[in-house]
Structure 1
Amino acid sequence: MGLPRSEDPGFRIEIDEPVGGPAVIRVRGDLDVVTAPVLDACLAEAVLTGHSVVVDLLYVPFLGCAGLAHSMMPPTGCPSSDAV
């Protein structure tokens, strides 16, 4: 999966795609109005390619309103909320 860039140098997303299991999207750094669209793009790509996804927020020290809103909504382009 392609990885969109963020303006925040402390923010990054790592994607692990184990064989036979769901993709794991590991988020590191603050998840806010600037970085939430990056996660949204990763989730949308995973869903559109038919992958099940686990989002690991263990290393997210700050989850702003925008980050929370993105985590509660289906990714952009997602056909149904069942995919989240």
Structure 2
Amino acid sequence: MRTINIKPLADRVLVAPAAAEEKTAGGIIIPDSAKEKPQKGEVVAVGPGKKEEPMTVKVGDQVLYGKYGGTEIHIDGQLYLIMRESDIYAIS
């Protein structure tokens, strides 16, 4: 689990996306230009939530989100996504 000194506001969540698949199930290596954005990742920071809606996800959860969900940000050379909790589809 990664630790980071950023605290998202309200119902926002900071997610470290999983690495893109390097090979297909059949063993074919996928070139960088053809790799799809990952749709899963690990929650590294969680905001306090809203008064009427407490947060469901917590730090360390593996989550599934939409292909174009969140905003990409770079912190200390690492790629992260910041998104609203409602953009997360499931906890795995």
Q: TM-score range by the shorter chain?
A: under 0.3
TM-score, normalising length: structure 1: 0.25
Q: Normalized per residue, which structure has more strand?
A: 2
Structure 1 or 2, whichever has the larger Rg, is 2
Greater helix percent: which structure? 1
Q: TM-score, normalised by structure 2?
A: 0.24
